Every structure is written in C-alpha cells, then in structure tokens.
Amino acid sequence: CSSTVGREGGRQRVVLGTPCLQHLGRMQHELLHTLGFYHEQQRPDRDKFVRINWNNIKQGNCKYHDFMRLNPGRKMHPDLPYDYDSVLHYPKHAFAVDPTVPSIATPNGEKIGQRIRMSKLDVKRVQLLYGEETSNQEE
C-alpha cells in the first residue's frame, strides 16, 4: 500500500494491494495521501504531542522520512487539534527495530495508528480543503 502525497503531475500511482483492500482504513489512508494529506506524526507541532524514538526506527527504511517533521510552512490546518485517532497516524511500534519498544511515544498512553476508518478530524480536514459536500461518517 502506498501513494505519493498530492498530485505530482502526470499519472498518480496508488498501490492498493490485498492487505489494503481488506481494510477500509488502509484504503482511506492512501487515498488521503493522494488528496495532499501527510501523516499526523509529521505535523510541524507534533513534538508537543508525541515523541519519536529515532533509535528504534529501522535505519535505511524507505518509510524513515515519514517520521520527519514537516516544515512549519506546510499548511496542515494547524487550527485543528492534534489527532491521535487519525487514520493517517502511524501506530506506536511502526517500523520499530525492537517491537517491544514504541517508535512513537504518546504522553498519556493515547492509542494511535487505527486503520478502521477516518476520524472525525480527518473528515473535517477534507471538508476544510475541498468543501463541505463530503459525506458525514456514521456515528
């Protein structure tokens, strides 16, 4: 499962293999990338909400850059709260060298990395960027 963030010109390649097709949240994760959304743990203000354990992330992994904080100039709707429940947030042990140690630590044990469906704030971000016509998710 993979996609580039936003349209880069020409054809946009979105890879949705069998694991993605079996989980709505995984498909939503990749499709949100195509719409221009980055991972929640990449927010410029993320250090106020999570701690990245760089020593426990596999070096040379192609996903290493997904832990890098974005430049503050990147608009990610900073007026919205940090979303631990976002379908775009990596789980605590993502790409961990030692799977018993979190690669992303949360201050109060908040659950992160769900792939069930878009969170309410995910939906709100899409609405803010693309308009209010997006359908509401079920409660």
Which position has the token pair 């018993």? Answer: 100
Per residue in 121-139, pLDDT (tens digit) is 999 999 998 887 655 555 5
Domains of the chain (ranges; CATH) run: 39-130 (3.40.390.10)
Per residue in 60-82, pLDDT (tens digit) is 766 788 999 998 877 667 689 99
Q: Check if 30 is active-site.
A: yes
Q: Answer yes or no: pTM beyond 0.85.
A: yes
Cβ contacts of 134 within 8 Å, gap of 6 or more? 123, 126, 127
- The percentage of the chain sitting over the pLDDT mark of 70, rounded to a whole number, equals 91
Largest CA distance in the chain: 44
Q: Which of 8, 30, 110, 132 is catalytic?
A: 30
Q: Is 23 annotated as a binding residue?
A: no
**pLDDT at res. 110:** 96
Q: Examine the pLDDT at 120 and tell me if it is beyond 90.
A: yes
Question: How far is the CA of 90 from the CAs of 112, 125, 130, in angstroms?
Answer: 7, 18, 24
